[in-house]
Copies of this chain bind each other. A is one copy, B any other.
Amino acid sequence: MASKIVDVHTHVYPPQYVSILKTRSKVPYVRDTVPGQPSRLIILPGEDDPSSESTAKGRPIGPEYYDINKKIKFMNTHGIDISVISLANPWLDFLDRDEAKGLARDVNDAINSMCDAHPGRLFAFGALPLSAPSEVIVEEIHRLPSLKYTRGIIMGTSGLGNGLDDPELDPVYQALEQENLTIFLHPHYGLPKEVFGPRGADYGHVLPLALGFPLETTIAVTRMILSGVFDRFPKLSVLLAHSGGTLPFLAGRLESCILHDAHYSGPEAKVESRRSVWDILKTNILLDAVVYSELGVRAAATASGADRVLFGTDHPFFPPLEGAEGEEEQKWLSVTTNYKAIGDAFGPDKEQAEAVLGGNAIRLLRLTTD
């Protein structure tokens, strides 16, 4: 029997989440811009520049974002056996403190029900009500294992508002570690617009998506490392989007800068003795393989081990270049690029390629319902 193919990086907005986005007038929101054209989804900070009447704000949103049957068709077209679906950014980050608890339950239940409707094809990462009080977040974490298909949670880089090195997150990390739920750490907030220079907008969405996103992820996980999260919670498991942003490539420099900080900071050096970056990469970090290059997959596999790298697609983002027409039957360039990168990275070693394509996810995320 051929080994299974598992997509760990694939997003969905349940219909009730889309309804909320439609009622909003601030980012994130959905709006109809041009009659006869698809609605547009405006989610990124700064994407809603009020001085611009551009119709290119955000991205077109169609049923591929909320109709789970579209996901199944996409999986069938691309030979994907199992998808671990997750709420797309910005998750529940923007909710008022009072509504977060209820909506988190609703969304997590809705995503779990989607999985239930396609048994064996779908598992899920839940979402946390991070704007609610800490005890509400922890309560939802302890409820998640009761949802048959939920294996972790997806989370952005802001945490409770101060980033992932915030000591106030410790109860959250503790509960996740205790319940053996993986954190899928995903970017959303990018970098401030000014770092891309006065001509940044000339390049459309390229700089924020190609660089801002992975750099955000890299900074976030580095702050977790430096603040000792993985020393305090040595069994915490974190799946990093886009092959870790750039963590595999920068791990050597990071470790070197930590070792040398006493020289620069003198007696005030504050990064205390802690586990090495390489150790954390091989013990606590999982990397998806959404990196669009052979050298990226290789670097990821060297950094975390080929047994800790997991195929993903980023569906429904990066759809076919030819537009929505016939989208369901055609293969997506973004997906075939990542398939090819895995094949090329491992060459004749089919076992490693098969592990990355599915075996690792099944083992590490326990994707069985027995």
Q: List residues of A whose CB falls within 8 A of some B CB.
A: 54-56, 59-60, 162-163, 165-166, 191-192, 194-199, 202-207, 209-211, 214-215, 218-219, 222-223, 226-227, 242-243, 246, 248-271, 291-296, 298-299, 302-303, 318-319, 321, 323, 333-334, 337, 341
B residues in contact with A165, CB < 8 Å: 197, 199, 202
A295/B298 in contact, CB under 8 A: yes
The answer on a CB contact under 8 Å between A268 and B204 is yes
Q: Bound complex: CA of A271 vs CA of B192, how far in Å?
A: 21
- By the criterion CB–CB under 8 Å, are B266 and A55 in contact? yes
Contact check, A252 vs B293: say whether CB atoms are below 8 A apart.
Answer: yes
Contact of A207 (CB < 8 Å), options: B55, B191, B222, B296: B222
The contact sample of 26 A-B pairs, CB cut-off 8 A, is A55-B268, A56-B265, A56-B269, A59-B263, A59-B264, A162-B199, A166-B199, A197-B219, A204-B261, A204-B268, A206-B258, A207-B223, A209-B264, A210-B250, A210-B254, A210-B258, A215-B215, A249-B291, A249-B295, A249-B299, A251-B295, A252-B337, A253-B292, A260-B319, A263-B321, A298-B298
CB neighbours of A318 from chain B (8 A): 256, 260, 263
For the complex formed, measure the closest distance between the CB of A200 and the CB atoms of chain B, giving whole angstroms.
8
| A271 to chain B: closest residue by CB | B203
| A61–chain B nearest beta-carbon distance, Å | 12
Q: In the complex, are the beta carbons of B196 and A223 less than 8 A apart?
A: yes
**Could you tell me if B219 and A270 are in contact, using CB atoms closer than 8 angstroms?**
no
In whole angstroms, how far apart are the Cα atoms of A197 and B333 in the complex?
A: 36
List 19 additional A-B contacts (Cβ < 8 Å) besides A203-B223, A215-B246.
Answer: A54-B268, A56-B268, A56-B269, A59-B263, A60-B263, A165-B202, A192-B192, A192-B194, A195-B219, A203-B261, A204-B264, A205-B261, A206-B226, A214-B253, A249-B291, A249-B295, A253-B296, A260-B318, A295-B303
Once the chains are docked, how many angstroms separate the CA of A341 from the CA of B255? 14
Known contacts A215-B215, A250-B246, A264-B205; A210 and B257 CB within 8 A of each other: yes
Q: How far is it, in angstroms, between the C-alpha of A242 and the C-alpha of B292 when the chains are bound?
A: 22
Beyond A223-B197, A299-B298, A337-B256, is A270–B210 a contact (Cβ under 8 Å)?
no
